[in-house]
Structure 1
Amino acid sequence: MMTIAAPPGTAFGAVGAGGLALVLTVVLILGVRGRGKQRLRDNGALAVAFLAGTAYRAAGEFWVNAEQVTTQGLTGLGVGGRGPFGELGIGAVCCLLVALVLLAPLTPGRAALLGLVAALVFPTAGVGTIWHVPVSLAAAVLLMIGGGG
């Protein structure tokens, strides 16, 4: 579990990581469905989903379920060992996610799913990897908003 801490006197008051996870999830659902005043397009849905996934990791509690499902999926693919695709490392999964984001035709729903998965997979690659850069950036954004853990 990652911790995001901020002083309680931030611009939005005391929000907390769980509060941010909740707000970002609602924004993601309503924005992707697009029946309100604003609609999230593919890039917006991807960004909001990545921030939401980062908030899930920080919040723990109920929000850890998304991370557990992702971890089970990676285990099923054989990541970190020998599986149906042979030896598959976490770096390959991260590269695959980036390839899908850049090259696959995305709808807002698909982009949101890829963003959530990326937010939960990238940190498992480790702190010294290139994949940790967007994780750190997302955590910094959440910290500025007031997502204390």
Structure 2
Amino acid sequence: MALSAQDELRIGELVVRYAAAVTAGNAEQWGSTWAKDSTWHLRTKAVTGRDSIVALWRQLLPMYESILQLVTRGRLAEAGGVHGEWQVVEILRRAGSDHDCLQVITYSDRYVREAEQWLFAERRLNVRYRREMPAGEFLAQSPAR
């Protein structure tokens, strides 16, 4: 199967929707990016099944006061399925912390098409860089125009 330009656009939109849901702390939107039988790899832990993945995320989310994810670049490949790799910059603050953490993450993905949309079949998080820094100020989003 050859990826069309439209498929590439939709997969890029999926990645951005995921990051926007992380930033907003929106579990419903975040969960909608995962395929039913997907797997999420977090360092030494792997969780399978959208419901289990979302349940874990709901457990982890209260550990953070704020998270901001910025998608910087990505690439897609077709070799035994549709795969991608994305670099993401993340600024986060743990609940009750007096400092922030800057991370550069690589997500290694496998995608599947379900019900006419692209979803994550597998997503592997790999932190490439981490630095604690003085706390900045997370500002409320302006309403959409």
TM-score normalised by L of structure 2: 0.29
With CA pairs under 8 Å and 6+ residues apart, which has the higher RCO, 1 or 2? 1
Structure whose residues are more often strand by fraction: 2
